[in-house]
Amino acid sequence: MSLEEFEAKFKEFFHRTLEKAPEVRTWNKIYQMVVDGQEFYIEIREGSIRIVQGRHPSPIATLTTSREVLAKIMSGELDAMRAFMMRQLTITGNVFDTVNLKKIIDVGLGKA
């Protein structure tokens, strides 16, 4: 999964989540992603989302995985929590806050 594909799909999921979970409009969160060494971050601020290449100086958490695992998570083939438990996804920083990313993915996939 390329960064562009991830960005398009995650933004689609985010907009679905705005409709089903309006509390997302109050979030101010930044998550760093490292996918096969490529760094980008997800910035959620007051109902909007940006996905930016590079490293953010102070993310809530950093999630590291492979393109293959990310693609499986985004397609619903692999649950993010299961990937974490199987050590296919590592998280540093505030692990508990990353449940918000899972919520966006679950709503996007129609699971919530």
pLDDT tens for residues 57-97?
A: 999 999 999 999 999 999 999 999 999 999 999 999 999 99
Residue 11 has pLDDT above 80, yes or no: yes
The 8-class DSSP code of residue 36 comes to T
Predicted pLDDT at 87: 95
Largest CA distance in the chain: 33
Q: Which amino acid is at 96?
A: F
**First-to-final CA distance of the chain:** 24
Domain boundaries, the chain: 3-94
pTM for the model stands at 0.91
Contact 27, 45 (CB under 8 A): yes
CATH level 3 topology of 3-94: Nonspecific Lipid-transfer Protein; Chain A (3.30.1050)
Q: Which amino acid is at 59?
A: P
User: In this prediction, what percent of the chain has a pLDDT beyond 90?
Assistant: 86
Contact 13, 109 (CB under 8 A): yes
